Amino acid sequence: LGDVYKRQTTEITLKIRTEVSRMLSVSKVITLSQVKEVFQTSRKNARLIFEYTDRIGFTAKEGAQTERSAGNKLQREQIRGK
Instruction: Kindly write down the DSSP assignment for every residue of 6-74, as one continuous string.
Output: HHHHHHHHHHHHHHHHHHHHH-SEEEHHHHHHHTT--HHHHHHHHHHHHHTTSEEEESEEEEEEE-HHH
Please list the pLDDT of the chain residue by residue as tens digits (82 residues): 678 778 888 999 999 999 999 999 999 999 999 999 999 999 999 999 999 999 999 999 988 889 999 998 888 877 777 5
**57 within 8 A of 71, measured Cβ to Cβ:** yes
Question: In this structure, what DSSP letter does residue 4 have?
Answer: H
pTM: 0.84
> Which residues, listed in sequence order, are joined to residue 60 by a DSSP beta bridge?
69
